[in-house]
């Protein structure tokens, strides 16, 4: 998404669908490992990392804590609140897996790639601008779409498509 435009379309994802999509990601990654450790990009990467780690039997999980968005808009500068541990950076040659929920512009992924150039980068969803930054993903979503994750959603009344009841 660009800084100026608000997303036009919505792609809401349920817990069931997200679990299925994360499992699909794990299936795709299962032939590419074994991976020694996962680096999870918080916070969006936390749930997919947990599911992928369970499926692939990875026990070493570190985080890189990055803030890049506020209220649907990318912030001027990405802020790294916590970096990858040196012990994990030193595993780099032994196949590191970086996991996030999505790539949008690709700026977050680019920053992590600079730190871990040899790691395999995986996301559940990818928008076209960020896609070149990702090695493995499950579903492509158009650039003008905002993805709503299950932890962002709740049940509410939906008016009928053709107008008021």
Ligand X SMILES: Nc1nc2[nH]cnc2c(=O)[nH]1
Task: Summarize the annotated binding site for GMP as residue ranges.
Answer: 104-108, 146-147
The residues binding Mg ion (CB under 5 A) are 44
- Per rule CB under 6 A, count of chain residues that contact ligand X: 7
Asked if 101 is an active-site residue, the reply is yes
Number of residues that make up the chain: 165
Site string for ligand X, 123-152 (x = CB under 6 A): -----------------------xx-x---
- Return d(Cα 117, Cα 120) in angstroms, integer: 9
- Return d(Cα 124, Cα 101) in angstroms, integer: 5
Closest residue (Cβ) to ligand X? 104
DSSP bridge partners of 79: 67
Tell me the binding residues for xanthine: 104, 147
Asked if 135 is an active-site residue, the reply is no
Query: In Å, how far are 7, 8, 93, 157, 164 from 160, measured between CA atoms?
Result: 22, 19, 54, 10, 6
Tell me the binding residues: 43-44, 100-108, 146-147
Contact with ligand PRP (CB under 6 A): which of 13, 18, 48, 101? 101
Q: Least distance to ligand X from the beta carbon of 164, Å?
A: 29
- Return d(Cα 103, Cα 116) in angstroms, integer: 17
CA-nearest of 52, 68, 65, 57 to 120 is: 52
Q: Return residues touching ligand X (CB under 6 A).
A: 1, 69, 102, 104, 146-147, 149
Q: Which residues are catalytic?
A: 100-101, 104
């Amino acid at each position: 998404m660009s800084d100026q435009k608000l997303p036009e379309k919505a792609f809401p994802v349920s817990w069931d669908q997200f679990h299925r999509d994360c499992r699909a990601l794990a299936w795709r990654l299962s032939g590419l490992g074994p991976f020694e450790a996962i680096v999870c990009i918080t916070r969006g990467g936390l749930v997919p990392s947990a599911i992928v780690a369970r499926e692939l039997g990875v026990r070493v999980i570190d985080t890189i804590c990055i803030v890049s968005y506020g209220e649907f808009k990318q912030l001027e500068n990405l802020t790294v609140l916590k970096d990858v541990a040196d012990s994990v950076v030193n595993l780099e040659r032994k196949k590191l897996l970086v996991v996030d929920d999505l790539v949008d512009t690709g700026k977050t992924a680019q920053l992590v790639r600079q730190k871990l150039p040899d790691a395999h980068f995986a996301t559940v969803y990818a928008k076209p601008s960020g896609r070149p930054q990702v090695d493995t993903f499950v579903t492509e979503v158009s650039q003008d779409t905002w993805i709503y994750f299950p932890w962002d959603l709740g049940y509410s009344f939906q008016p009928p498509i053709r107008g008021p009841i």
